[in-house]
Structure formats: structure tokens, C-alpha cells
Amino acid sequence: MIRDTTVLMNEKRVFKPSEEIKENALVKNWEAEIEKGKNLEKYWSEKAEQFEWFKKWDKVLDESNKPFYKWFLGGKINLAYNAVDRWIKSEKRNQVAIIYINERGEEKKITFYELYLAVNKLANALKNLGVKKGDIVSTYMPMCPELLIALLACTKIGAIHSVIYSGLSVGSLVERINETQVKVLFTADGTYRRGKVIDLKSIADEAVLQCPSVETIVVVNHTGTPIELSKLSGREIFYERLVEGEASYCEPEPMDSEDPLFILYTSGSTGKPKGVIHTTAGYMLGTATTLRYVFDIHEDDLFWCTGDIGWITGHSYVIYGPLLLGTTTVVYEGAPDYPDPGVWWKIVEKYGVTKFYTAPTAIRHLMRFGIRYTDLYNLESLRILGTVGEPINPEAWIWLYKNVGKERCPLMDTWWQTETGMHMISPLPVSDLKPGATALPLPGVDADVVDGKGNPVPVGKGGYLVIKKPWPAMFRNLHKNKERFKEIWSEFPGCIYNAGDMVRKDEDGYFWIQGRSDDVLKIAGHRIGTAEVESAFVSHPAVVEAAVIGRSDPIKGEIIKAFIILRGGYELKTKLIGELKKHVRHELGPVAVLGEIVQVDKLPKTRSGKIMHRILRAQEMGENLGDTSTLEE
């Protein structure tokens, strides 16, 4: 869904930072910091000094085998060591590292020292299960402390994690597990969602029956629902049993800077989701540095990112960014409006959250309940706010800024992706803010707007968002798909990476993101490919062919509109619509929100048989169909 930013750019309000913000900010001069960032290697290597390296790097950036860029070559480092072990040697030893809170109001606080013990025990247990450096471990878990412990345990011993979002379903699990040939899978009995317990274990069980590579399923008894470990005889073990009696010290594995850290599947414009690979040192550096400067992290901060660890936002800013800075991170399991729409603000007040990072879709949802709930709680602890995942509309921006931030807290609209690993375009707390614009590329990041030939476009004109220079947290490859990886990096001359977004720059150089330029949808901030939804449709016996596009939605940003061709004998009546919705949901999980299903006789296609989504989108928006010369009919 492309939003019309020409209208938006008429939004002329500018919000300036207060004197207090300016005085306390780590970066006081935005322009000067951007200037410094132009010397990429110097800038990033200075920032890399923040970590404890087992061995310093020999070369900052190696561009000899493009697009397989390498950072901090020759360096040896370990993520878990830097995120946990390092702090127990300091005054942070007994500081709370993780505050876990759920929708029932239950909480669990874990100090850095307790986290250290838990990670070590699990790391040793994983070794005893035969997990070695380079092996892939999967998780299908709720937002709970054991998930963070599992990921840190993997990184401690050099295992690569592949997190599967707990909102995904059997089909997605089977696909991801089989593609990565995972031997160990972590899951839990269930997760809390709006007063119910969603049974994750049965979904995992159903999936594992189709995944012969899985040797061990580690089950966390999270909600206390009685479960029997019998179905998958011999392959299952409770988490508690697994770590029982394990030694509480584990030597961190010295990882090469470029050793893979994790795989995270994300949707592309064609085919199945792709396994994005991030490596160790660059990713650590990118997440820690951007968090530090964008959210201006100080010693006394309490950081809360509401994103799920199942996606990149949670990887980078629930777990790794905060812990690498020694900052307490809030892990919340539940919805933003249960038991009531004040639940988030209640948490901010109770714990004194200082930095709050969320998604525009959640804000648009909460806006509907007015300011009754934001007024009910004391939100004065808050200092900086942030959003991510989709364009934020000025109304939602202003609502958050005014009613949550009380016009005191700068709002950071951060643009980035699973592939970028870290924030790429964002204001800093000292920046002038414009509601709806993500401001400028961060220091050490070179992003621009170009036309289809790679030439810069004039002010106010739409173009492709591209990155022109390598950055430390850039993804390094796609799992088992090197060819597709190479294609992504070579689209425009002079630019290294095409992000797949459309954008306009205004006279101050501010970026106004318009939306995706490809066939990727953003539903409530979740990324999903039209190809995946289409293949879910055609796996139903009634459907011959399907084409889907995004339809704009006031809360979710966009939802799915499907055009389907039915097999003879079927009619699109209420019963079949219900069945199709259920079917797509079973295949893809609740992320695939279906707005409308329309029956058609034909779909617009190119002569080579590819569906022309562009035509369907233009028709939907009542626009000119554009160039139809490649259209078959």
C-alpha cells in the first residue's frame, strides 16, 4: 500500500527538542555526528571499542568479494559474553536485566547475575544434547524469560538460532524447521492472549511429526497447564529437567566476527519466506550503537520495546541492544488492550519505564479509546518514545507525542528492516521532528532516494529507497539461497542495496516513507508476501487461482484483499468465505488478516503468466492503469 506523501509533506508542523533533552543527550550536535559518520570505517571502528573482544580485528571492512561484505575481519568476540558475563564483573552484577510481565499482572525480575547462571546452565545442557558451534536451534515460544535465556545460551556456545514467531502456524513451522534441519526445538505449553491460554505445544507437536531432523524438543512449562510428554515418544524433555544439575559456568565460544549469529525468516516479494542471516560482531555493533544514540541510553534507563522476539524488532531491541548496553529490558507477554486499554500505561507507571518503543498500529488501536487511559496513569518517567514497522500517520504521531509523551518526549520514527538488522533512518533526540517523516539516515549510514536507473531524484519526487554504503549490521546472506541474495544487491548502479520501499525527500532532506515498492504487505506491522497468501489460497480445493493485494485499513495499516478464481461447482457464499478465511489462517497464522474475498473469472497477467498486482492495485485505488503493454489480456 503506497501512501500519498505529497499530501503528507504539506504537514508543516515542526517539533523542537527541549533544552533539557539537548543538555542530557549523548549526541548534542546531530549534523556534526552525521559528518563524522561519513568516515565509515573510522566511525564504526571507534564505536566497536565499546565491546570486550577476545581478539581485536585486523581489518574493519572488507569489500573484496561484493556483495559478501565483511566487517571486523580477524576479530574474536562472543555476544552472550558481552551482553551478560561482562556486566557481572561490574556494579551491574545485581541490577535487574530482564523484567518479565504478563497480561495477568504477574512479573519476574532477573538480575544480570541470575541471567548469567541460567544462560550457562542451559548452554551446558545444549552441549550435552550434542549441539555444537554452527548447529541451528529453533524456538517456537511465547515472550518469556526462557526464550531470552535460550537465545543467549545459543550465542554463548556458537549455535545459530532461528526463532519462529509464536503467532505462526504449523505450515510455517514445518517449512522453517525442515529448511534449516534443526535438531533441537524449544517450545512451551502455551502463551497468554486476552485471557486465554493459546496451546503452542499442540501446534509444535503437529509440526514436528513432519520434521524428522528434530531430535529433541525442549518444553517450557510456562503457563502451568498440565502436559504429558508422551506423544513424540523419547524426543521430548522439560526445560527444568534439562538444566537440572548442569554446571553454572560455561566458557564462551570465541566467535569470528563473521560467524553466523542467527537466521530469521522474513517475507519477500516472491516465493517462500527467506532465511536472513546475520553475523556476530557487526550485528552486535549495529544494534547496540543505534539503541544507545536513538534512545539516548543512560545508566538509569528502563527500556521497553513492545515488539515480539519472533521478529527482528524483538531480536535487536528487546534482547540484544539493551543487554549489550547493560540496560534493563521489559519483556511483555500480552496484548495492548487486555485486560483493558490502559494496561501499557499502567506498566509504564508501575515500573517507571523511561524509553518506550512501539508500533503505529498499536497506537492507532489505542487512540480509539481516547485519553481516558493515558490520563489515568502517571507517565512522567517517560523521556523518549519511538515507533517502527510501518509508516506512522501524523494523527497517530501527534496523539502519542501529546498524550503519552506530554509534549516533552521526542518521538523517534525509526525506519529499518530485518535485512538491515539495525535502525537506518531516524531522528535523534536533538533533531527537529516532523510528524510522519523518519528524518535523516543515521550517522554511519548512507541512504538515498533514486529513480529506476539509480539516479538521484529531485526534492519532493518519489523514488526507491536505497543504501549506498555497507553498514555493520547488514544481512550477510540468505539461508541456502545465495543467488537470490546476490540479485538483491545488484539492482541499481551505484547503490548497493534496494530496500524495497518508496520514499520522498523534502527540502530539508527528511525522508517520508511511502510504503513498499514490491509485493510485500505490512499488516499491523507484520510483514507478509502476497505470494505466500496466494499459495495458501490455492492449497484449498475450491480455489484454482488467487491474487492478493493490500487494502488500506485505518487501524492495521493494510489488510488483504483477495481475487480468486473458483473451481467449477463452487460458489463464493458465506460458508465458503468462512472456510477460506479459516484455511488461510491455519496455513499462515493470525498475521494474515483477510479483509475481502472477491470472485473473478480472470486475473491480469503478463504474457509470461505472472500476475500483475500493479493493475489490481491501481484498479482498487481508482487510478490510471498505467502501462499495460505487457498485459496479456
Q: Which residues bind ligand WTA (CB under 6 A)?
A: 266, 311-313, 388-391, 413-418, 438, 499-501, 513, 516, 522, 527
Q: Give the residue with the Cβ less far from ligand WTA, 374 or 420.
A: 420
Q: How far is the CB of 482 from ligand WTA (least distance, A)?
A: 20
Complex with ligand WTA: residue 342 or 525, whichever CB lies closer? 525
**Of 182 and 591, CB closest to ligand WTA:** 591
Reported as type and span, the H/E element at residue 403 is none
Nearest to 258 by CA among 158, 131, 183: 158
Listed in sequence order, the DSSP H helices in 295-353 are 312-314, 321-324, 343-351
Question: Nearest distance from residue 313's CB to ligand WTA, in Å?
Answer: 5
Read out DSSP for 504-531?
EE-TT--EEEEEESSSEEEETTEEEEHH
User: Cβ 355 to ligand WTA, closest distance in Å?
Assistant: 16
The number of CA neighbours under 13 Å toward the Cβ of 418 is 25
Smallest distance, Å, CB 495 to ligand WTA? Answer: 15
Residue number with the smallest Cβ distance to ligand WTA: 418
The smaller minimum CB distance to ligand WTA, of residues 156 and 479, is found at 479
Q: What's the min distance (Å) between Cβ of 558 and ligand WTA?
A: 11
**Is residue 366 a contact partner of residue 400, using CB atoms and an 8 Å limit?**
no
Residue closer to ligand WTA by CB (options 312, 547) is: 312
CB of 378 to ligand WTA, least distance (A): 28
Half-sphere exposure for 228 (CA within 13 Å, toward CB): 3
Q: How far apart are CA 49 and CA 293, in angstroms?
A: 16
Of the pair 301, 413, the CB lying nearest ligand WTA is at 413
Please, which residue, 78 or 514, has the CB nearer to ligand WTA? 514
Residue 346 CA to residue 333 CA, distance in Å, equals 14
Determine the residue type at 3.
R
Give the count of beta carbons closer than 10 Å to the beta carbon of residue 551: 18
Q: How far is the CB of 264 from ligand WTA (least distance, A)?
A: 9
Question: What is the b/e burial string over 139-174, where b = at least 16 CB atoms within 10 angstroms of the residue's CB?
Answer: bbbbbbbbbbbbbbbbbbbbbbbbbbbbbbbbbbbb
Query: What's the length of the chain?
Result: 633
Q: How far is the CB of 462 from ligand WTA (least distance, A)?
A: 14
Question: Judged by CB, which is closer to ligand WTA: 84, or 478?
Answer: 478
Kindly report the backbone phi and psi dihedral angles of residue 620, in degrees, each rounded to the nearest multiple of 5, phi listed first.
-60, -40
Is the Cβ of residue 252 or residue 557 nearer to ligand WTA in the bound state?
557
Phi-psi region of 127 (alpha: psi -120 to 50; beta: other; left: phi over 0): alpha
What Å distances lie between residue 423 and 122, 156, 238, 285, 329, CA to CA? 31, 25, 37, 12, 18
- Residue 525 C-beta: closest distance to ligand WTA, Å: 7
- Cell numbers describing residue 29: 550536535
Taking the least distance from each CB to ligand WTA, the nearer of 260 and 314 is 314
Nearer to ligand WTA, 383 or 516 (CB): 516
Cell 519466506 identifies what position?
273
Q: Are 292 and 320 in contact (CB under 8 A)?
A: no
Which candidate, 274, 267, 275, 172, places its Cα nearest to that of 529? 267
Q: What is the distance, to the nearest Å, from the Cα of residue 197 to the centroid of all Cα atoms in its chain? A: 24
Q: Work out how close the CB of 415 gets to ligand WTA at its nearest, in angstroms, rounded to a whole number.
A: 4
Q: What's the closest the beta carbon of residue 212 comes to ligand WTA, in angstroms?
A: 30
Calculate the CA dihedral of residues 206, 212, 213, 215 and round it to 10 degrees.
70
